[in-house]
Structure 1
Amino acid sequence: MGTRWSVKLIARASALAMLERGIQARLDEVVAQMSTWEADSDISRYNRSAAGSAHTLPAGFAEVMAAALALAADTDGAYDPSIGPLVDLWGFGPAGAREAAPDALAVANAQARVGWRRLRFDAAARSLEQPGGAYVDLSSIAKGYGVDRVADYLLEQGIADCLVEVGGELRGHGRKPDASPWRVAVEQPGGGDDEAAAVIALDGLAIATSGDYRRYFDADGQRYSHTLDPRSGRPIAHPLASVTVLHAQCMQADALATALTVLGAHAGMAYANRHGLAALFVLREGDAFVTRTTPAFVARQCRP
């Protein structure tokens, strides 16, 4: 996944080696199924396949695909798992980075291959048809799914107290050895190391953040974010700097954070409130940052 993982847990010392092997095996499985950076992964083989071919997906891949398509339908395409051609075109995929923005024709050509409605997926049969030129990219949801796989594995092993983190997405259960909760600080863009937008206690809860200030490139005096709007074919260009979402499933928190970021502050906040989501929005106002939170998020915040 191009990142690191970390797990804090309470367990017998004699079990640690076995647990580490189990954790790594589950993350390796996610990579083998859904990494567009691995040429022999299930998703890469699908993306290279011929038009009209049907592919039976592994159970994990199918679960993530179903969730991604459901969110695509619910957001009317603001979230779209077929965004791969645009991700590569803008230099944020396996095709490599770029130093200049693509021209309008290149964007139009890539966008012609994007569209979640083109993906014919039979959830019951776990079958996904290749319509021709489709390039599925699940990077905005698979990492969260990996967190869930690890957390669920640990719970199955009787580990009631753990904090799982993969590339900044987290899910926590139980408490630390001193009986205090697993507290997680939400980063404040532009803030110092000791500055946080909020602090959340995770117990049966996951947290994920999507932001435009980590991955981007600058060209001709303009910054291009890695968060792309599949409806326009271009990086987002609004004042929203980041969105953090809390959810019982990290897979859902991960994807929802991306979807809300694409929707923007106004439409994103409306969507979050309509669905009762716990979400924190960080917006740019000149050189400063301001936060907006949903009632569900406020209810989860740790009090000073």
Structure 2
Amino acid sequence: MARFFVVALMFILAACKSDPLTLKFSGETMGTTYNIVAIDKTADLSPETLQADITAALAKVNSQMSNWDPNSEISQFNSAPTTDPVAISPELARVVAAANEIHRKSEGLFDVTLGPLIEIWGFGARTADSPVPADEEIAAALKVVGQGKILSLSQDDLTLRKNLPETSVYLAAIAKGYGVDQVAAVLAEAGITDYMVEIGGDLVTAGLNPNGEAWRIGIERPDSASQTIEEIVDVSGLGMATSGDYRNYFEQDGTRYSHIIDGVTGRPITHGTASVTVLAENAMMADGWATALLALGQERGLKIAEAEGLAVLFIARQPDSGETGFETTTSTQFSKLQSKQ
């Protein structure tokens, strides 16, 4: 899934040891990049130690939830040809439980078992130049997806079971946000109260930025031809994620096919919602809900956002405007959070 943002800040490095220091870390993880800004108010933390702890936290998340690592915990679960309960870590159980919650509340549109559908539509390991899948292919894939009926999680016993041995779990739509939260926990454990952690567009912040102001993030206009800021929001003390359909898609015979798949129909979404931004108490829930609400679209998604008290900003294409005309709609909770900042 494509998630894009611009961080609107300027970093001021302290000139003397007694003043707070702005520490910055960056690198690669989970098939994307990460950027971290942390303010050391004591000016006595070891950047090397902090970097090592950050690296260790990210490595642990990858070892548990990466679908690209054949030795990861989730890959081992996927490859196991069994329908017996499989012991899993508390961390994986927590992420699957969150995924189950979003699945239930999103009318099944958020689904971590969509791998077969993603593959036949050309958004997985295959390329998108293959023919549009036939109805028979879609029907066959639908038989092995649907986490609500195929996956059984026991948080008490820490086990996960699939009803069909060929079912696979893909956590890309929620694990990145979880990774953000784990890095934030490392910073908090080190005594850092002001920070911003971002991985591939998913982020969480705490306290204030290096200028002593609220963290402000620019949300990109969902226009594949430009990089224009649509809106700047205050996100201090919140997790944030944006999901859009305007980067990862293909066109064939005059039809545009989004990488966001409707798990009920087995086909790419067709509504006009181009981007969804969610603010939540942590990055994991923001990550999952951004994907779910984009799949639902603004009309259905806004109803759920209001019912669940979610802070959401929808950006939809205006009718007959192609890729250039957009309108924004916010949930009540989103507006409340912005008015408090």
Query: Which band: TM-score by shorter chain?
Result: over 0.9
- TM-score, normalised relative to structure 1: 0.94
Equivalences for 1:180-199 in 2 at 5 Å?
180-190=213-223, 192-193=226-227, 195-199=228-232
Which deviations, in whole Å up to 9, do the C-alpha atoms of 1:209-258 show, x marking residues without a partner? Answer: 11101212222222211111110111111101011000011100111111
Deviates more, 1:229-238 or 1:24-33: 24-33
Equivalences for 1:204-215 in 2 at 5 Å?
204-215=237-248
What residue number does 1:47 align with? 78
Q: Given the alignment of the two structures, is residue 10 of structure 1 paired with residue 25 of structure 2, yes or no?
A: no
Q: Which has the larger radius of gyration?
A: 2
SS at match of 1:4: strand
Rounded Cα–Cα distance in structure 2 between residues aligned with 1:175 and 1:222: 45
Higher helix share: 1
Indicate which of 127, 133, 154 corresponds to 1:97.
127
What residue number does 2:328 align with? 291
Rounded Cα–Cα distance in structure 1 between residues aligned with 2:74 and 2:56: 18
Runs of 4+ in structure 1 displaced over 6 angstroms?
none
Indicate which of 238, 244, 256 corresponds to 2:289.
256
What residue number does 1:149 align with? 182
How far apart are residue 88 of structure 1 and its match? 2.0
Letter in 2 for 1:246: L
Indicate which of 187, 200, 207 corresponds to 1:167.
200
Would you say the 8 A contact 2:312–2:334 is kept in 1? yes
Rounded Cα–Cα distance in structure 2 between residues aligned with 1:291 and 1:176: 27
Rounded Cα–Cα distance in structure 1 between residues aligned with 2:143 and 2:294: 23
Rounded Cα–Cα distance in structure 1 between residues aligned with 2:58 and 2:93: 16
Equivalences for 1:9-88 in 2 at 5 Å?
9-11=38-40, 12=43, 15-88=46-119
How far apart are residue 14 of structure 1 and its match? 5.0
Rounded Cα–Cα distance in structure 1 between residues aligned with 2:294 and 2:49: 39
How far apart are residue 58 of structure 1 and its match? 1.5
Would you say the 8 A contact 1:50–1:130 is kept in 2? no
Would you say the 8 A contact 2:88–2:158 is kept in 1? yes
Which deviations, in whole Å up to 9, do the C-alpha atoms of 1:15-53 show, x marking residues without a partner? Answer: 111111111211121111111111111111111111323
Q: Which ranges in structure 2 are unaligned for 5 or more consecutive residues?
A: 1-29
How far apart are residue 179 of structure 1 and its match? 0.7
Tell me the C-alpha RMSD between the 2 structures.
Answer: 1.8
- TM-score, normalised relative to structure 2: 0.84
Aligned residue pair count? 302
Would you say the 8 A contact 2:106–2:293 is kept in 1? no
Q: Give % identity.
A: 39
What residue number does 2:262 align with? 229
Rounded Cα–Cα distance in structure 2 between residues aligned with 1:64 and 1:86: 22
What residue number does 2:209 align with? 176
Indicate which of 129, 154, 168 corresponds to 2:161.
129
Rounded Cα–Cα distance in structure 1 between residues aligned with 2:197 and 2:302: 28
Equivalences for 1:270-281 in 2 at 5 Å?
270-281=303-314
Deviates more, 1:71-80 or 1:245-254: 71-80
SS at match of 2:81: coil
Rounded Cα–Cα distance in structure 2 between residues aligned with 1:220 and 1:34: 37
Rounded Cα–Cα distance in structure 2 between residues aligned with 1:278 and 1:22: 32
Q: Which ranges in structure 1 are unaligned for 5 or more consecutive residues?
A: none
